[in-house]
Amino acid sequence: MDFLITILNIFFNTFNWKGKASRSEFNSYIVFILIVAFIIGFSIIKLMSEKDLDEQTFDHIINIIAVLLYMPFISLSIRRLRDMNRPIWLHLLYYIPFVGIYVIYLQCTETSRSNSGW
């Protein structure tokens, strides 16, 4: 149940740019995104193979899901960078291929370096 509470907390804090996010909170959201992508991917493949879903509808569904999952991720990653005592502009490195993967790796593995007891 802790996983679901963490995910709900992340969605409720979508527009909260202050505070910090723990490593477990960040990792939980990454796992949640992977689970959602896996389930939706197989559902869409099944619907497209049965010819129940045209390309335009597929594009709309993917865009809506991407926005709904990416907005909390932006806020969470900024709060995670703050917890690691890293500059927030590092979030912009997500948009550089392969460098973004390394930044996500750091956020998933590096412990916080703050003195606040996190």
Q: Where are the domains of the chain?
A: 2-109
pLDDT of residue 104: 84
pLDDT of residue 102: 85
**Percentages (nearest 5) of helix, strand, coil residues in the chain:** 75, 0, 25
Report the sign of the C-alpha dihedral through residues 105, 10, 3, 68, in that order: negative
The helix or strand, by DSSP H or E, that contains position 52, with its residue range, turns out to be none
Distance CA 42, CA 76 (A): 27
Write out the two tokens for 21: 């996010």
pLDDT of residue 117: 47
pLDDT averaged over consecutive 10-residue blocks of the chain (118 residues)?
Answer: 87 89 91 92 78 77 89 92 86 85 83 56
pLDDT of residue 1: 53
Q: Tell me the DSSP string of 44-113.
A: HHHHHHTT-S-HHHHHHHHHHHHHHHHHHHHHHHHHHHHHTT--GGGGGGGGSTTHHHHHHHHHHHPPP-
